[in-house]
Amino acid sequence: MKFPGMILMGAQSRLLPPSVPFRFFAAAVAFQGVAWGLIAVDAEQVPHFVGGPGFILAGLHALTLGVLVMTAIDASFQILPVVTGQSLMALWPCRLTFWLYAPGTALLVFGFIDADPAVLAVGGTLVTAGLGVFALLMADVLRRTRGMRTLVLHGWAALISLGVLAGLGLTLVFNLQGGFLIDPVAVTIVHMAVAIYGFMGMLAFGYSQFMVPMFALGPSPGDRVVTVTFALAAGAIGLAVAAALAGAPFGLVAASAAGLAAVVLHVRAMGAVLAQGMRKRLGLSFVLVRVSWGLLAASVVLGGAAAVDGLPGQIMPLFGFVALFGWLLTFLMGILQRIVPFLAAMNAAKAGQTPPTLSDVAVETPLKIHAAGHFGALALVAAGIVTDTGAAVVAGALAGLIGAAAFLWFVADTLRRMRGYAFKAAAAAKQDD
């Protein structure tokens, strides 16, 4: 068993300069507001959306690329070296990744509104280049990691998925203009499955093995249950890809069943960690995390249902919303409520000094506003999709926008407090000298 103290030993020496992680976090929170705003603009079409350029596709990519993958890149840059004890090969590729990826994402989001081929081509190329740099850095860390088999397995699975989704994404971008794909719907389904459950899912499952025990002060789950969960999840993703390409709905239903079994094992393992953890009061952040686990299970069930003929047409858009805005966004926002103050506290103190407490660098008021806005958004948009009511979708998107603004307030205020504490610590140290 691995305990939190083992994970955090020497963590401060492997922290990135705060300008690196916080620029990714700030961009991700800004894109969250963009995503909700774009959904509100074309709310009437949300209950019927199954693809195609416009405000909804732009909003979905503001969420997937701008929030989810942006956060995953940043978390990987910071968390993977801390957990594995292997430093990144260099710092400048992290900055290069941001300056390729963030502008590329902005161009893609803008280009998807009216399917501008030139903007999409430039944006897609920049995003792919940024992801390539990120993948090289992560592959180097994973290659040098020893004794952490399950984490390495999840990491390599995520990187393989990243390569597949990046290639398919570029293909779909250029297909908007050229129309050369014989079955773009099948390619889109594969792209979604690999992006949601392959890349993001594998990272969420892999990092949860260490982050949840670290926050709860509990032991990591056993390697056996993690390995079985990984095998079920990987098998479900592979089956979903094969079934989509073969046009076999039954295969998608079977993939959903295997995926649900993996989710049950994962959530049970995480629940056991929380039950054994010494820290029982984990606050609002783990309210979001626990809700996200339920929404993960719901997304897998809805994904299987979407493959069945004869069910209401809103099943597919509801699946996309629950998987992306429900499971992944809720999970990431819950984890970020812990990661942002933790990094701020560690960066605020120089090596050898006692870091400030988390309450010194973060306040809870904006997080309460964010939670109210976020949960309100999930309920209203989901209701709007089910009842085909554009007004409910608009109200939900506006609630999500309020929540995103509150989270931006939280990140900005934490950064301000971190700098203030570091300034006071430096002044005190100078006075002691």
> Which of 110-124, 239-253, 339-353, 386-400 has the least mean pLDDT?
339-353
pLDDT value at residue 376: 97
Write out the two tokens for 4: 């939190």
Across 42-49, average pLDDT: 92
Q: Alpha-carbon distance 373 to 371, whole Å?
A: 5
Residue 151 has pLDDT above 90, yes or no: no
Instruction: Give one word for 369, left, alpha or beta, with left for phi > 0 and alpha for psi -120 to 50.
Output: alpha
Q: Alpha-carbon distance 54 to 186, whole Å?
A: 20
Whether residue 432 is contained in a domain is answered as no
Across 363-382, average pLDDT: 95
Q: Is residue 406 a contact partner of residue 367, using CB atoms and an 8 Å limit?
A: yes
pLDDT value at residue 4: 46
Residue 295 has pLDDT above 60, yes or no: yes
Residue 242 has pLDDT above 60, yes or no: yes
Share of the chain above pLDDT 70, in %: 91
Question: pTM for the complete prediction?
Answer: 0.92
Across 292-321, average pLDDT: 91
Question: Tens digit of pLDDT for each residue in 63-93?
Answer: 999 999 999 998 888 888 878 888 888 889 9
Q: Which domain holds residue 213?
A: 4-423
Q: Is residue 355 a contact partner of residue 345, using CB atoms and an 8 Å limit?
A: yes
Give me the CATH number covering residue 390. Answer: 1.20.210.10
Q: From 65, 80, 95, 110, select the one nearest 15 (Cα to Cα).
A: 80
Residue 1 has pLDDT above 60, yes or no: no
Query: How many structural domains compose the chain?
Result: 1
pLDDT value at residue 353: 62
| Other CB atoms within 10 A of residue 27 CB | 20
- pLDDT band for 257, please (50, 70, 90 cuts): very high
pLDDT value at residue 428: 63
Whether residue 185 is contained in a domain is answered as yes
pLDDT value at residue 382: 97
Residue 123 has pLDDT above 60, yes or no: yes
Whether residue 430 is contained in a domain is answered as no
Whether residue 429 is contained in a domain is answered as no
- Higher pLDDT, residue 169 or 36: 36
| Other CB atoms within 10 A of residue 261 CB | 17
Whether residue 294 is contained in a domain is answered as yes
pLDDT value at residue 354: 66
Whether residue 8 is contained in a domain is answered as yes
Whether residue 221 is contained in a domain is answered as yes
> Which of 2-6, 198-202, 208-212, 248-252 has the least mean pLDDT?
2-6
Q: 129-152 burial by CB neighbour count: b if 16+ within 10 A, else e? A: bbbbbbbebbebbbeebeebebbb
Across 17-26, average pLDDT: 84
